[in-house]
Amino acid sequence: MKFCFGIIGCGKISIRHAENMARFGKIIAVCDIIPERANTLAAKFGANPYLDVSKMLEMETELNVIAICSPNGLHAIHSIACLNAGKDVLCEKPLCIKSGEGEEMLAAAKRNNKKLFVVKSTRFNPPVISLKNLLGNNSLGKIYSFQLSCIWNRPASYYFNSWKGTLALDGGTLYTQFSHYIDVLYWLFGEMKNAQGFRKNLAHIGLIEFEDTGAICLEMKNGIVGTLNYSVNSFNKNMEIALTVIAEKGTIKIGGEYLNELIYSEGTSLIVQADGGNLANDYGTYKGSMSNHHHVYDNFIKALSNEENVSTTAIDGLKTVEMIEKIYTHCKLIS
C-alpha cells in the first residue's frame, strides 16, 4: 500500500506525526487555521499547506491516511470529515471529549469501511507492558486495589490565549493531561463501574473552566477498587505519574515522571526492558507524556497493511472517554 499522509492541526505534537509518517510514505498536505503553523510544517516536509479542512480533502485526492492533531473538541468533526472522504484516520488523544461524539466517529468508520485508530502511546512504556504481562498470566493472583498518582505542572502561561483550559475545546485536565493514564487503568483493569470524589480549581482561577486538582475513588466492574489523585499544580515541574498495584501475590509500583520506571516489586519479579533515548515530548515550557509515536506508527502501519491489528482502536479510545465522562459526571466540581 502506498501511503500518502495528511495532518490536520499543525501544533507541537504534529511534528512527531510528521517525522514518523516520513518513515513510511509521503506527507502531501497539512492543515491549520493559523497560516504560520501550516506553512512551517509544510515547508519542512515538502507538503502543501491548507487553512481549511474541506478544501484540503477536496483538492488532495491522493490522500489516504490522515492524522488528527487539532484541539480535543474538534477531533470528532475532523475525523468524521476524513472518514466520509474515504480516508483512514489516526486521531491524537483523546479520541473526543463526549462519548456520543465517539459513537458517531465509530459509525462513520464502519459506514465508510475505513479504519479509525487513536494514539495511546503510554501502552508502549516498558514497565506498563511488563505489568500487563504479569496480569495476563495471573502471576499476581487476585488484584485487590490500585493507586494512580498524577502530579504535573502546568503554569498560567500554558493556558494563556489558548484553546487549552476551555470546556469546548479542551474538555478538562483528565482529557488533555492524563487521558493516557486513564487508558492504562482501562487496559490493565477493565471498565469502570463507579466514581466518587471531588474536583477543584485551586491555582488557575480565571484561566481555566474546570479543575486543576482531583481526588477520586474508583470501582471497576471486576470488583477492583482504586484511587486517582491528580494535579497540575506541582511546583516548577512535572514530578510523577505513579501506579501502585496491591495484589494477592505481590505489590508493585511503577512511576517516574511519565510512568516509565520500576519503583519496587515485592513478591514477584517485574522485568522491565529499557527503552533508552525515548524521552518525554518536550514543549519548551512544559513536558508531556513519553514520546512513543515511533511504536504507535509501527503498529498503525501494520494495521493499515491488513497485518495483525495491534494498534489501539477507536473502541479503546471511546472506553477512555467514557471513564473520564463518568468521573466528571459523578465527582463534584467544588468552589
Which residues are CB-contacts of 114 (< 8 A; sequence separation ≥ 6)?
Answer: 83, 86, 87, 88, 89, 108
Task: Please report, for the chain, the start and end positions of each structural domain, with discontinuous segments joined by +.
Answer: 4-120, 122-288+314-334
More confident residue, 70 or 286: 70
Cα separation of 223 and 189, whole Å?
Answer: 10
The candidate with the shortest Cα–Cα distance to 75, out of 26, 49, 108, 43, is: 108
CATH: 3.30.2310.20, 3.40.50.150, 3.40.50.720, 1.20.1440.130. Which one for 4-120?
Answer: 3.40.50.720
Sign, CA dihedral 265-125-93-33, equals positive
Average pLDDT over residues 314-319: 96
Report whether pLDDT(188) > 60: yes
Question: pLDDT tens digits, residue range 129-176?
Answer: 999 999 999 999 999 999 999 999 999 999 999 999 999 999 999 999
Q: Which among 94, 33, 98 is positioned nearest to 68, based on CA atoms?
A: 94
The full length of the chain comes to 335
Predicted local confidence at residue 276, as pLDDT: 46
Please say if the pLDDT value at position 55 is more than 90: yes
Averaged over 48-69, what is the pLDDT? 98
* Closest by CA position to 281, among listed 291, 270, 273: 291
Residue 243 has pLDDT above 90, yes or no: yes
What integer pLDDT is reported at residue 287 of this predicted model?
53
What is the average pLDDT across 87-99?
Answer: 98
Given this model, what pLDDT does residue 152 score?
98
Query: What pLDDT score was predicted for residue 312?
Result: 75
What is the DSSP code string of 248-317? Answer: TTEEEEEETTTT-EEEEEESS-------TT-PEEE-SS-EEEE--HHHHHHHHHHHHTTS---SPBHHHH
Percent of the chain with pLDDT over 90: 90
- Residue of 80, 121, 325, 132 whose CA lies nearest to 243: 132
User: What distance in Å separates the CA atoms of residue 242 and residue 184, rounded to the nearest whole number?
Assistant: 11
For strand 48-50 and strand 287-290, is the pairing parallel, antiparallel, or unpaired?
A: unpaired
Q: What is the mean pLDDT of residues 203-227?
A: 98
How large is the average pLDDT for residues 5-10?
98
The per-residue b/e assignment along 123-150, b for 16 or more CB within 10 angstroms, e otherwise, is bbbbbbebbeebbeeebbeebeebebbb
- pLDDT tens by residue, 103-139: 999 999 999 999 999 999 999 999 999 999 999 999 9
Whole-model pTM: value is: 0.93
Amino acid symbol at 163: W
Q: Which of the following CATH numbers is that of domain 122-288+314-334: 3.40.50.2000, 3.30.70.60, 3.30.360.10, 3.40.630.10?
A: 3.30.360.10
pLDDT at 277 (0 to 100) = 44
Question: Of 209, 170, 208, 179, nearest to 70 (Cα)?
Answer: 170
Query: Mean per-residue pLDDT for 218-234?
Result: 98
pLDDT of 268: 83
The whole-number average pLDDT for the span 25-38 is 98
pLDDT tops 80 at residue 212:
yes
- Mapping DSSP to helix (H, G, I), strand (E, B) and coil, where does residue 10 land? coil
The answer on pLDDT for 299 being more than 80 is yes
